Amino acid sequence: MKDSIIKVRDFRKVYGDVVAVEGISFEVQRGEIFGLLGPNGAGKTSTLESLEGLRAPDGGSLQVMGVDPARESRKLRNLIGVQLQTSGLPDSMRVDEAMRFFCAYHGVAPHYHLLDRLGLAEKMGAQYHTLSAGLQRRLVLAVAVAHNPPVMFLDEPTAGLDVPSRIELHNLMHELQAAGTTIILATHDMAEAEKMADRVAILLRGKIVATGTPRELTATGAGLTKVSVRTEGPSLSDPSITFPAVSQVAFKDDYAIYYSTDPGPTVSAIIVHIEAQGDTLIDLRVERPSLEERFLEITGTRGGQ
């Protein structure tokens, strides 16, 4: 049975004459990581900030664990943890003070181990304005999760983070998910969305234009699977050789690259051909179309309309 933690029905948000979000609907299940993707101005942040109670919707309804964010902010505050895209902490606030300050308002004991976990242990006494952009984002994240909220909103959480911090954040997200936390992730990083999200919705000009699991989305596109082959001899060097389902051929760095609509028959035929030519296979790679390619396909096509 589905347990919808977040319900968005015909949500609409306008700023003057500009319609930022035009009647979108979606639900997020308990323990799910749900990705909101879209180009700049697609309506991701308007949607997130309305769910967080920072903006009032101009139409439709929003619910977070049965709470209306616009009307019941007191109830909402202990249910959600938020890492905003544009917000900060007071310049003079020290790292340990930030943890104490926000935990006190949530009525929980400070969780200093989170600071340690996110690489801030050595910066306990440092003021916010002296931290690098990456450390500032980590601190905001640490205080966002400190009261153990059942729902997390992360708006571009890895922007400005180095690779180890990014990995640490992804591990933390998986741990939170394993503990039952529902996570809404707005990101421009398609690789991150593909890796982390159970389901994604792609927004374009205030409307949801695609939704599903990353695998479902990539499977429904016109994207071609890339088959890269390297052999010891010249058995594949002739570009006129054809294989089933191959629509394009390219050669790069000793690899013959075939773009296939159906990679199974293509790979079988290539191997048969190599063996028939008495050649030896050195390397063979099959790469499915990525979410990024599918995203560009959707946003590029529709955006041009």
Question: Could you give the string, one character per residue 34-53, with x where binding to another protein holds by CB under 8 A and - elsewhere?
Answer: ---------------x--xx
Give the Cα separation of 140 and 142 in Å (integer).
5
Q: Count Cβ neighbours within 10 Å for each residue of 93-106 and write b for 16 or more, e otherwise.
A: bbbbbbbbebbeee
- Minimum gap (Å) between residue 92 Cβ and another protein: 5
252 makes contact with another protein (CB under 8 A): no
90 makes contact with another protein (CB under 8 A): yes
278 makes contact with another protein (CB under 8 A): no
Pick the piece of the chain touching another protein (CB under 8 A) from 4-12, 81-89, 217-225, 265-273: 81-89
- Minimum gap (Å) between residue 49 Cβ and another protein: 7
72 makes contact with another protein (CB under 8 A): no
| Nearest by Cα to 196 from 226, 223, 172 | 172
- Minimum gap (Å) between residue 36 Cβ and another protein: 18
From candidates 80, 190, 227, 274, binder to another protein by CB under 8 A: 80
Signed CA dihedral, 205, 210, 212, 215: sign only: negative
**Other Cβ atoms within 10 Å of 231 Cβ, number:** 21
Give the Cα separation of 47 and 206 in Å (integer).
9
170 makes contact with another protein (CB under 8 A): no
Give the H/E segment covering residue 183.
Answer: strand 182-187
Place of tokens 């799910």: 32
Q: Which residues bind another protein (CB under 8 A)?
A: 49, 52-56, 73-74, 77-78, 80, 82, 84, 86-93, 97, 100-102, 104-107, 127, 140, 143
